[in-house]
């Protein structure tokens, strides 16, 4: 996926990086619960650990017939605060709305997706 025309959104969980990665590794092939966002039937790909402090998780449409379809990428990054263990979830989504659309419109669908993802992550981590 080219990140030249992409929307970048992030949120944080107060859980250590390794715990978040361990959770996301179990989500391969599963979709978001109650996913009512602009990209219906989004499923998780395989979590890939790019380094000791960066992991990547692709999100695809369940009915994707081509690997050429845009993949939304979720990057998982540890955040060092010196006090608490935080993990950043950075969503990188292709800019489907185009450059002529206002930034708020371009980020609307990815923001809904990130919100649904954070809800599922927080719910799973609280169990």
E strand or H helix at 122, and its extent? helix 108-125
CATH of 6-125, one of 3.80.30, 1.10.3470, 3.30.160, 3.30.530: 3.30.530
pTM above 0.85, yes or no: no
26-77, pLDDT tens digit by residue? 999 888 766 554 455 788 999 999 998 999 999 887 765 555 566 789 999 9
CA–CA separation, 4 and 23 (whole Å): 30
φ, ψ of residue 120 to 5 degrees: the values are -70, -40
Provide the token pair at 66: 């081509």
17-26, pLDDT tens digit by residue? 999 999 999 9
CA–CA separation, 2 and 78 (whole Å): 24
């Amino acid at each position: 996926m080219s990140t030249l025309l992409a929307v970048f959104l992030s949120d944080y969980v107060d859980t250590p990086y390794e715990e978040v990665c361990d959770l996301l590794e179990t989500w391969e092939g599963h979709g978001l619960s109650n996913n009512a966002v602009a990209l219906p039937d989004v499923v998780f790909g395989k979590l890939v650990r790019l380094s000791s402090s960066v992991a990547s998780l692709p999100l695809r449409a369940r009915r994707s017939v081509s690997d050429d379809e845009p993949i939304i990428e979720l990057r998982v990054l540890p955040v060092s605060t010196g006090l608490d263990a935080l993990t950043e979830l950075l969503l990188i989504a292709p800019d489907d709305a185009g450059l002529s659309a206002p930034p708020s419109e371009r980020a609307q669908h990815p923001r809904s997706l990130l919100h649904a993802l954070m809800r599922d992550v927080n719910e799973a981590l609280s169990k």
